[in-house]
Structure 1
Amino acid sequence: MDSDTAVIIDGVYHQAPALRHKEILAAIGRGVRVIGAASIGALRAAELAPFGMLGVGSVYAAYASGKIEGDDEVAVGQAPDGHWHALSWPVVNLRHVLQLAVSAGVLNSGRAARLLAGLRTVYYPQRTTAAVRALCRHQGETKFAGWLAEQREQDLHFGDLKRVDALGAVRSALAGRAAQAGVRPTPAVWETTYFRRWSNAFARTRLDGLELSTEDRLVYQQVFDPAFHETWAAYLEHRSLQPADGATALPLTQRLAQVTSEDLPAHRVFHPVIDLRDESTVALLLAGETEMDRQAVARYADALARARRTRAAFSTAAVHDDLTRRLLLRVWQCPEQRFDAEASARGLECGARAVTAAKRLVPGLLEEMNEATERTETACGQR
């Protein structure tokens, strides 16, 4: 892992979610050296420098020093059809071009500042070359517009500060060193509850020729395994004897006695956040899983994907709470008043959280129930 290096430069921003901090932190946590430059890479490097991300270039230095702050400093418009060509000018490049024009005697500092202020009022995907020319005409800066056009005819990449920084970052990565001075900082503690929940959502495993979400596999066991109460109790005992936060190891009964004098089961008191990146945790929680279970998880995932494709605006959040609750009561065969306790004993904390977790299973479960009904009706019709 020490030899792995990732360079982050640019990314889709408007029509898709931007690169998340948690994705970068996950890579750093696995020992990957992450270098950022030029665009969102520079922005993320400035934000995550205390956690070990390395920044390269002028754009990064400006963000890190606080000289620039806004996302629109590096944002450009791109076509929604998958082509990555920039359709507009980022502010960092415009500022750099104006500084070059001042150095060349084409503009003075005051006129350059007015031009930059005007360009910054233009919404970033509309800050095209045509918009730059129009604003120059509006402010009477035709000499600068002509000079810029000449420079770009001679060099298509004239004034492209982001490109300069991107190439510098790639050279730094190929050289096996960072281009910034100083020692890499010791990463601070960033593995929060929210990070672990996020990382769990992306944990995947390939088994029996199937690529499955580890979280889907766990939720399936929590819902359908009648013996999962014992599995969860064993997991709580394991966490008590091997606490992840460095606390003193204690038998679960002793730890329970320290925090409550009431006759409460451990699953109603302790709700540890599960880390599905940990192989021992996964092995313990999925100890009762069978090959048939994994095949069912794959079928349920396919049913969920079909629902998303075929139903407009479908999402798991749109699945009715009451429907999910009724299905869980039916599967668990427990009375309404025992619903919260049953969910807690299965590691789902409470009934409301069980409903939220189980919604991903509802399309597949309904399909299975409908198929079973059709088979029954067909069998009755053949008699």
Structure 2
Amino acid sequence: MIGNGDTVVIIDGVYHQAPALRHKEILAAMGRGVRVIGAASIGALRAAELAPFGMLGVGSIYAAYVRGDIDGDDEVAVGQSPDGDWSALTWPVVNLRQALELARQAGVLDGERAAVLLEVLSAVYYPQRTMAAVRAVCLRHDEIEFAEWLARQRARSAHFADLKHADALAAVRTALDGQAPPAVGVRPQVWESVYFRRWSNAFARSRIDGLDLSTTDRLIYQQVFDPEFPRTWSAYLERRSLNPADGGPGLPLETRLAQVTGGDLPAHSVFRPPVDLRDEETVALLLAGETPRDRLAVARYADALALAYRTRPGFSAAAVRDDLTRRTLLQVWRCPERRFDAQAAARGLVCGARAIEEAKRLMPGYLDDVSDKKEAASGAR
């Protein structure tokens, strides 16, 4: 676990097949007192972008981003092995530029020919810029001498012209030498956005009763299936009213509601504060009605959802039918159609449409439960 006073070095990361490392994640870490160093690849790019907030950049690639000599993520992007090896299979533009400059210094190329090669090699899509592709481009442009020279240099050293490798080592040395400046304590306002909370909530997990459970899944299960959850949500609104996130004066919920509406509307239709599932007190309050049986159901529903993703080509929770989910919620809540939005709001789900979107992830497991109960009832007869 990364904590206050630790130093993190960010070098490379995936971004084609997965979301790239977010700025908010780095700002949140620095806000907790973590020193963050970036170099070589996405580390250099993020350091150039977040230097005003205290992230330390190291190396020539970082410096080039800061000066504006380079400005795209394609400069450092490489294709990687699909089997989890993470080895780079292609050449990034920053390394090609360095190789061409070394060739120019060695008299293998002149400046004009090096510029032409850089342009055509940069135009090759990054996952296709293998060593074989580089050689083919060179031969197509009659640069046989350079292609052979480059092959000889790489035979002598696997890291020839590898700026990313050199910068990564420099960043690690900086961290080990203790040269990273103290964390600057980024203000929460910089990174505490609705998008960051959504991301952090998605990764909130806990291990309880031997089960590794998503806190988001646990909360949604209670919002959908606990008949007493509207009271729990009212208690949460009261707590937020007494302890505003912006540090303003705390007021009883009834008083705050009277100030805003005159008291003629229910609190859940007026106040819709975000939920931070990193906060232990919030989680304890919202899951106060959870039982061991509920947690087993959450684990079962998560397994059913994962199985659907694995076995149904093209499946996604978002693709679960709206009308099926809506009918299920109306049945579970024993709610007339006209009260659907109000019931969803009372459970902290904002509105009926939002409730449907949130509940979809529970549907494969719920339908399995319904099917199992029908089979059990049929067998009993």
Give the shorter-chain TM-score range. Answer: over 0.9
Within 5 A, what are the aligned runs for 1:172-251?
172-178=174-180, 185-188=184-187, 189-251=190-252
> Does the 8 A contact of 2:31 with 2:185 survive in 1?
no
Distance between the aligned counterparts of 1:72 and 1:87, measured in 2? 15
> Does the 8 A contact of 1:50 with 1:187 survive in 2?
no
Distance between the aligned counterparts of 1:312 and 1:147, measured in 2? 48
Distance between the aligned counterparts of 2:261 and 2:176, measured in 1? 57
Match for 1:92 among 67, 91, 94?
A: 94
Q: State the partner residue of 2:308.
A: 307
Q: State the partner residue of 1:298.
A: 299
Measured after TM superposition, the shift of residue 216 of structure 1 is 0.8
Q: State the partner residue of 1:332.
A: 333
Give the residue type in structure 2 aligned to 1:296: A
Q: Could you say if the C-alpha distance between residues 334 and 194 of structure 1 is closer, same or farther in structure 2, counting changes exceeding 3 Å?
A: same
Shifted more, 141-150 versus 297-306: the winner is 141-150
Measured after TM superposition, the shift of residue 130 of structure 1 is 2.3
Q: State the partner residue of 2:143.
A: 141
Shifted more, 284-293 versus 20-29: the winner is 20-29
Instruction: Report the 3-state secondary structure (helix = DSSP H, G, I; strand = E; otherwise coil) of the residue aligned with 1:7.
Output: strand
Distance between the aligned counterparts of 2:178 and 2:269, measured in 1? 51
Q: State the partner residue of 2:273.
A: 272
Distance between the aligned counterparts of 1:161 and 1:340, measured in 2? 57
Match for 1:19 among 4, 18, 21?
A: 21
Give the residue type in structure 2 aligned to 1:151: Q
Q: Percent identity?
A: 70
Shifted more, 355-364 versus 108-117: the winner is 108-117
Q: Could you say if the C-alpha distance between residues 134 and 311 of structure 1 is closer, same or farther in structure 2, counting changes exceeding 3 Å?
A: closer
> Does the 8 A contact of 2:254 with 2:263 survive in 1?
no
Distance between the aligned counterparts of 2:53 and 2:360, measured in 1? 35
Q: State the partner residue of 2:110.
A: 108
Deviations 1:205-235 (A, max 9, x none): 1111111111111111111111111111111
* Structure 2 runs not aligned, ≥5 long: none
Distance between the aligned counterparts of 1:378 and 1:150, measured in 2? 75
Give the residue type in structure 1 aligned to 2:376: R
Measured after TM superposition, the shift of residue 185 of structure 1 is 4.8
Alignment partner of 1:31 is 2:33: yes
Shifted more, 243-252 versus 45-54: the winner is 45-54
Instruction: Report the 3-state secondary structure (helix = DSSP H, G, I; strand = E; otherwise coil) of the residue aligned with 2:191.
Output: coil
Q: State the partner residue of 1:59.
A: 61
Distance between the aligned counterparts of 1:193 and 1:25, measured in 2? 14
Alignment partner of 1:6 is 2:3: no
Distance between the aligned counterparts of 1:201 and 1:296, measured in 2? 19
Give the residue type in structure 2 aligned to 1:187: V
Q: State the partner residue of 1:375.
A: 376
Measured after TM superposition, the shift of residue 374 of structure 1 is 1.3
Deviations 1:298-318 (A, max 9, x none): 111111112222222111101
Query: What is the count of residue pairs matched by the alignment?
Result: 377
Deviations 1:330-375 (A, max 9, x none): 1110101011111111111111111111111111111111111111
Give the residue type in structure 1 aligned to 2:197: R
Quote the RMSD (CA, aligned, Å): 1.8
Distance between the aligned counterparts of 2:225 and 2:154, measured in 1? 65
Distance between the aligned counterparts of 1:275 and 1:89, measured in 2? 42
> Does the 8 A contact of 2:269 with 2:345 survive in 1?
yes
> Does the 8 A contact of 1:50 with 1:185 survive in 2?
no
> Does the 8 A contact of 2:32 with 2:185 survive in 1?
no
Deviations 1:84-140 (A, max 9, x none): 222211100011111222222332322221211121111112222222223323333
Distance between the aligned counterparts of 1:377 and 1:114, measured in 2? 76
Q: TM-score, normalised by structure 2?
A: 0.93
